[in-house]
Amino acid sequence: MKIEKSLWGVSKCGKEIYQYTLTNVHGAFVRLGSVGAAIVSVGVPDRDGKIADVVLGYPDPNDYFGDGPCAGKIPGRYANRIAKGRFTLDGKEYELPVNNGPNHLHGGPEGFQNKVWESRTEGDAVEFMYFSEDGEAGYPGNLKVVAHYEWNDDNELKLTVTAETDAPTVLNLTNHVYFNLNGEGNGDILGHELRLNASEYLPTDDTLIPLGTADPVAGTPMDFVTAKPIGRDIKEDFPALNYGKGYDNCFLIDGAEPGQIQFAAELYAPESGRLLNVHTTQPAVQIYTGNWLAGSPKGKCGRSYQDYEGVAIECQHFPDSPNNPGFPGTVLRPGEVFAQAIIWTFSTR
């Protein structure tokens, strides 16, 4: 594996931002950036062998700070939403910044995605580290997070995220990468075919906070158990789709067990023949069809992306779990290690 490190830019607060390019024996590559431990590019071949970048992102590293889409980055301390920006842990209530309607989203406006992480090469891998201080964005405990990326000759990208704390806290970490398997800047993803290993999803209120129970997807526009084009039902008159102007919903992965890798999703672009399979140790996957991409910074394609030009497949724990004792736990305590993995495998059909 060839790994090249380069200075990508300097943040407005004077921190150096680095980019790493990992290239395998076939010339397929991954680019990572130290803003938010981001996946900046993934260059993989189509069915004719032509390599294109299938990840949405920006050429200017400073555009990654505070971007609405959270493109390619690791949001935290809690990915997704926490209702009203409040939760109670061990009898104490914590208040978080509200930045998405009435709710807290992705760790707030100064979340992990908007930080420059420390970085290094580690053998054939690249590691990013962020230290979140006690009280940052209202969360308790000093927290150390390490994101470990590996890219191999089988066009498989693996992310392992680990974290430790010195006081009880809540934690939900994922990567918010957007895919367009026809190549970024090449139109929308409504014709992409999506299949999910999920027979249930979480209904929400109109601010996208779960109602507390899971519903079956069968007989609804939320059913991706059998592959179908993303755009087939996206305009249906259905609460989940009306609230988010498209899919922005948490699907429960069938057969998920803590610490075990499980198939989560398959994405296929009939036009290019590129196929993506996603596996994870996480219990759920949030599907977000880029419903609000318009107005984002200028992309690598030379223009701003429009709505539905990318789909995010965010393997994670459930939204608002700290306020739902019936959901899989997201509390991390001293002496415990948070450890989750996501594997993206690219091929053609």
Q: Which of the residues are catalytic?
A: 176, 314
CA angle 317, 322, 328 (to 5 degrees): 40
CB within 8 Å of 128: residues ≥ 6 apart:
32, 34, 37, 117, 118, 119, 146, 147, 149
Assess contact for 176 and 70: CB atoms under 8 A. yes
Beta bridge partners of 146: 129, 162
Assess contact for 80 and 286: CB atoms under 8 A. yes
